Structure formats: structure tokens, C-alpha cells
A and B are shown apart, each in its own frame.
Chain A
Amino acid sequence: MSRNPYQPKMARRWYLSTPAFRAYTVREASSLFIGLWYLNLVCGVTSLVKGAASWDSWLALQTHPLMMLFSVVTLLLALYHSTTWFSMTPRVMPPRIAGMNVNQPLMVAAHWLGLAAVSIIVFVATLWGVSS
């Protein structure tokens, strides 16, 4: 064992030093905002249990400017998460399945179609039966 082993220094803000690292940091940070936003939804479900008044006050909270700013940031980060997740999925799979090569661009495109489909379904379900 050497008496003076080489110990590379890790820069304090290494995760901001290159574009690739910055992109990675944004991806990881997205989970903080998404997680907090889902905790907001958990509060919503809890207020649903407590009754109509509690639910209405939770809805009113969603209209608070800071909460809406938080939602805008979360939306952008969620889309970023979706983008990175969809492009990573074919790369973390085995390269050959059932004797065929996995077509990566096709798989990414299929994911985006899936996102569009899910979004449309949720949107339609939200408006289903609501008379304006």
C-alpha cells in the first residue's frame, strides 16, 4: 500500500461544471419538485376525506400565486423527466428481445405516443359529464 495514495479532489459544484452534468442535475432535481407536488396531492386526498369545506380550501390553495408558480415549475420539470425517462428506457433494456433487435427510436416514439394518449384520456375523463 503506497504511503501517499492519489486522492482525486471532487469539485464542490462538480454537478454544475459541464452541460452533461447540469442536465443530469436538472433531471435529479425534478424529483424534488414532483415529489413535493405529489405530497400536495396527498394533502388533497386527505382534505377530501375531511369533507367538502376542507376540499374547497385545498382547491383555493391551488389558486395561490406561489402554488401556481410551483405548478408551472413542476410541469416543466415533469416534462423533462418524461423526456429523459423515455429516451433512457430502450437503453436500459436488453438489446435483443425475442430474437429481434430493439428499435430504440421507435420505442421512444411509442412512449411519446403513449404520453399523448394518456393525456388525452385523462383530459376527456376530467371533462366527462361536466355541464358548462
Chain B
Amino acid sequence: MSTEKKVWTHNEPLFWSLFGAGGVVTGFFTPILVLIVGLAVPLGLLSDKTMAYDRILAFAQNPFGGLILFFILTLSLWHCAHRIFHGMHDLGFHPGAWTRIFTYGLALIGTAFVGVSLVVL
């Protein structure tokens, strides 16, 4: 094997890995989450008590619950940011550094908000 020191030369593998992980998480969790939080509870099909403040707060404060929330939310955001960024190319724009900063930046801001929120709780 080569004995050269490995140097970090490309960022893309990092974003692509997050894309992959996020795709798996989104593929399995988004349908039921949207169904419950976005439709069933607002429509009254499920009792309001399922989303009561105390209940959700307890879930988020729980270390496992917090970790689950963190990974589902943030990995999905990174997945979508990666897809949107590369989708710009399909639309005919040739996205440069600023588009990358904007799309991944939104994912990063989302990650920061979720991370800080769950630590503070």
C-alpha cells in the first residue's frame, strides 16, 4: 500500500455521503412523518394530545429521542441540499460557489438550529 500521507483534496465525497445517508433516512421516515405531523394531527384524525407540548418536549429531551430527531432532520436536509445544488445544473444554470454556499448553507443552518435546540432542551 502507498505510504503517502492522505490529503483532503475533494469535498464532494463528504456531501455525497451525506446525500446517501439522508436519502435512506428520508426514504424510510418522511412518508409517515408527513402523514402524521402534516396531515393526521392537523386534520384531527389523531388526537391533539399526540403532539402536546409536554409529550414532544419529553421526547426531544430524552437523549435517544433527541439523537433520532437530530439525525432524521439533519441528514434529510443535507440530502435535499445536495440534490437541489446538483439539480441546478440540469436546469441550465452552472452553479458556482455561491449556489453551493446557499444550498449547503441552508442545510448547515438547519443542522445548527436542530443541534443547538436539542442541546439546550
Whether the Cβ atoms of B31 and A78 lie closer than 8 Å is yes
The digit string for A48-90, where 1 denotes a CB below 8 A from any CB of B, is: 1100100110010011000110111011001101100110000
Q: What residues on A are CB-neighbors of B106 within 8 Å?
A: 35, 39
Q: What residues on B are CB-neighbors of A56 within 8 Å?
A: 53
Inter-chain CA distance A20–B79, complex, in Å, is 22
B11-51 CB contacts (< 8 Å) to partner A: 23-24, 26-39, 41-43, 46-51
Q: What residues on A are CB-neighbors of B47 within 8 Å?
A: 130, 132
Whether the Cβ atoms of A122 and B33 lie closer than 8 Å is yes
Whether the Cβ atoms of B29 and A118 lie closer than 8 Å is yes
Question: Is B67 at the interface (CB under 8 A from chain A)?
Answer: no
The digit string for B56-77, where 1 denotes a CB below 8 A from any CB of A, is: 1100100000000100010011
User: How many CB-defined contacts (below 8 Å) exist between A and B?
Assistant: 152
Residue of chain B at shortest CB distance from A60: B42
Whether the Cβ atoms of B73 and A41 lie closer than 8 Å is yes
Inter-chain CA distance A31–B88, complex, in Å, is 12
Q: What residues on A are CB-neighbors of B42 within 8 Å?
A: 59, 62-63, 67-68, 71
Q: Given the known A-B contacts A42-B73, A45-B114, A85-B24, are A35 and B81 also in contact in the complex, defined by CB atoms under 8 Å?
A: yes
Q: B-side interface residues toward A, CB under 8 Å?
A: 23-24, 26-39, 41-43, 46-51, 53, 55-57, 60, 69, 73, 76-77, 79-81, 83-84, 87, 90-92, 106-107, 110, 113-114, 117-118, 120-121
